[in-house]
Structure 1
Amino acid sequence: MTIHKEGSVSIGLAALFVLITNGLIHYVWVAPDWFATAWLVASLAFFFIIVQFFRKPARTVAVNSKHVIAPCDGKVVVIEEVVESEYFKGPRRQISIFMSPINVHINWNPIGGVVNYFKYHPGKYLVAWHPKSSTENERTTTVIKAPNGVEVLFRQVAGALAKRIVWYVKEGQQVAQGSEMGFIKFGSRVDVYLPLDARIRVNLEDKTTGGMTVLAELP
């Protein structure tokens, strides 16, 4: 396991915070020993929390053109039929995965193919499980068209703590199943929109492993 490139600035700032605050406490304020020790422990715990958030685990993707794999680590919180109004403008099966702050926050492409559509939407920062977060929060929409013509749409959705969404795809790009699509900093969710005849392979409350868990089988 390594540290993701998106964490370099945040980890650097966290390290600077630890060094500066502990230096001030020891050499400027000259705080009591008990307080200096408590702050050192608390600040180091904060630093390691930041580091673990940006961890990049090694994942082996079992590529299968019939499978839609989980685009992120997390927990399945929605499986329902909805009307997708941005791109398909019709009914689709939605699977939503909630990512807590302790999850790996890398996002993976759920299928291989060509990016037919991409759009970034600025927006609000409602809690990620709010029903309107998929349409009102900061988010991206990506549609990948598989070689057999089936299209899968997925959204990176910012949460109350997520203030920055990163993506590595663009329209017309050929992407491999399980390749890195982007990153969301801190708590968030990813929504996947599938054809109605896709066979769902997960249940509500299931834990997913990004790039590995099979969400559904395509027709």
Structure 2
Amino acid sequence: MGVSLKDTVIKPIHREGPKFIGIFAVVTVILFAIWEPLGVVGLALTIWCYYFFRDPVRVTPMDEGLIVTPADGLVSLIEPAVPPAELGLGDAPLTRVSVFMSVFNCHVNRAPVAGTVTTVAYRPGKFLSAELDKASEENERNGIVLTMADGRQLGVVQIAGLVARRILCEVDEGAQLERGGRFGIIRFGSRLDIYLPEGTAPRVSVGQTMISGETVLAVLDDASPAVARED
């Protein structure tokens, strides 16, 4: 069955969306009453707000050992880094993959692997541009640790950005998540850091476009680094 025009244009909306879309819509009506060109701008922003909060259906690959990206956006950094202390993942550097989400990306976050949420840790901080390396240490953040069935752990950190002022984590410690399962959202522009288990190399490159819940980020026990793509 083909995809209809309706399905292409009309997307499911995250539960955080309706109140903001409603505010934008009311302001748009007021702007139209003041001056029609202002109303047109308001209408464009209302449509943008609607698509910002989209929560599309994603088809998550289920092959054994896959780690999928928890966020839409671009891979901005791949480097060894010590995980935030509040995650309890130790002092040794792990491979960190950072995915930057612009204000045009879908911001619903999904679990990279199946497992139990064994840590949820919030830390207040600054609101620097999420593209900066130091945003991982200085910005407001919320981290979760997923413990897999074999005991290995993976950390995911939601990081607020220059525009993002609200991190929403929708799971508590003890929750069971399936790979690709939703666990939160950030509004409006932001970043996610993924700390891979020791001995696992990313299968993506800096600058690569990621699709949350679908793009394979790494394969457990695969220590072979990705081959850089040529444009």
| Counterpart residue identity of residue 80, structure 1 | E
Separation in 2, partners of 1:85, 1:54: 28
More moved, 167-176 vs 66-75: 167-176
Separation in 2, partners of 1:126, 1:66: 34
* SS class of match (1:76): strand
* SS class of match (2:106): coil
- The answer on 1:84 being equivalent to 2:83 is yes
Equivalence for 1:31: none
Larger radius of gyration: 1
Identity of aligned residues (%): 38
* SS class of match (1:5): coil
Equivalence for 1:30: none
* SS class of match (2:98): strand
5+ residue gaps in structure 2? 1-10, 222-231
Separation in 2, partners of 1:124, 1:199: 30
* SS class of match (2:99): strand
Separation in 2, partners of 1:85, 1:10: 32
Q: Does the Cα contact within 8 Å between 1:63 and 1:178 map onto a contact in 2?
A: no
1:15 corresponds to which of 6, 25, 29: 25
Equivalence for 1:207: 209
* SS class of match (2:76): strand
Deviation at 1:64? 3.5
Equivalence for 1:158: 160
Q: Does the Cα contact within 8 Å between 1:99 and 1:189 map onto a contact in 2?
A: yes
- The answer on 1:41 being equivalent to 2:40 is yes
Q: How many correspondences in the alignment?
A: 208
| Counterpart residue identity of residue 68, structure 1 | I
1:172-183 alignment, distance < 5 Å = 172-183=174-185
* SS class of match (2:172): coil
2:121 corresponds to which of 116, 119, 141: 119
* SS class of match (2:93): strand
| Cα offsets for 1:48-106 (capped at 9, x unmatched) | 11111111111111224411100010000111112224122212000000000000000
> 4+ runs of 1 displaced by more than 6 Å?
none
Give the alignment's TM-score, normalised by structure 2.
Answer: 0.86
Q: Does the Cα contact within 8 Å between 2:30 and 2:39 map onto a contact in 1?
A: no
* SS class of match (2:16): helix
Give the direction of change, closer, same or farther, for the CA distance of 1:91–1:194 in structure 2 (3 Å limit). Answer: same
If each structure's strand is expressed as a fraction of its own residues, which one has the higher value? Answer: 1
More moved, 83-92 vs 175-184: 83-92
5+ residue gaps in structure 1? 26-35
Give the direction of change, closer, same or farther, for the CA distance of 1:202–1:37 in structure 2 (3 Å limit). Answer: same
Separation in 1, partners of 2:84, 2:166: 24
| Counterpart residue identity of residue 188, structure 2 | F
Separation in 1, partners of 2:39, 2:84: 51
